[in-house]
Amino acid sequence: MKAVRFMLSVVVMSLSTLVFAQSDAQKPVPQTDAEKSFNLLKMFAGTWQGPVTIDPPQHKMGNGDVTQVSMRVTSRGNALVHEMYQEGKANDPTRYDHPVTMLYLEGDRLLLTHYCDAGNRPRMVAKSSPDGRKVEFDFLDVAGSTQYGHMQHAIFTLIDANHHVEDWTYMMPGEKPVHAHMDLKKAQ
């Protein structure tokens, strides 16, 4: 009889543990700021185009030139691929600028790795604005030569579902910044 009572108590404890575990699993897990920012950026998936303003304006891509940005979610939602290219230029990355940027979560941080036409790979770490509509990336480190400069800073700002702005800062040799402002609308 003692064995039956013992087994019954083990079964009851196991069932109660299972019920509590299931109720805990149903509670929403709060998202970190990095996860919120990443989910915001994944909403930008699609093709975007718009004018670029360069400051100072004497660089290759001039003021008013139209750029195209393609963003797509990949790796089962774990990465976002961002590609830039100039409208009217062949999609030939061996001849024309065609930088690729990967955005991804690493632990509790949202990181950006920019595969630059300058031959290096700067990484930046995100911080989000209090209103959650802007994600700003600050320089973390760089792999590869910085002889020709490197990307230093990026800001993505959501205007609405069909409009966002990107601001990129490229650090030229001698610590001279070049700013690119892209006012992008969803391509039809």
Query: Which listed CATH number (3.30.300.30, 3.75.10.20, 2.40.128.20, 3.90.226.10) goes with 33-186?
Result: 2.40.128.20
Q: Give the Å distances, CA to CA, from 109 to 61, 103, 120, 124, 128.
A: 32, 11, 22, 10, 11
* The predicted structure's pLDDT at residue 11: 45
CB contact at 8 A, 12 and 19: no
* In the chain, where the domains are located: 33-186
> Which residue type does 71 have?
M
CB contact at 8 A, 153 and 170: no
Name the more confident of 86 and 113: 113
pTM over 0.85: no
Phi, psi of 163, rounded to the nearest 5 degrees: -155, 125
**For 10-65, how does the pLDDT look when each residue is reduced to its tens digit (9 = 90+)?**
444 554 554 455 555 577 888 899 999 999 999 999 999 999 999 887 655 566 78
Structure confidence at residue 93 as a pLDDT band (50, 70, 90): low
Q: Which DSSP string corresponds to 133-144?
A: SEEEEEEEEEES
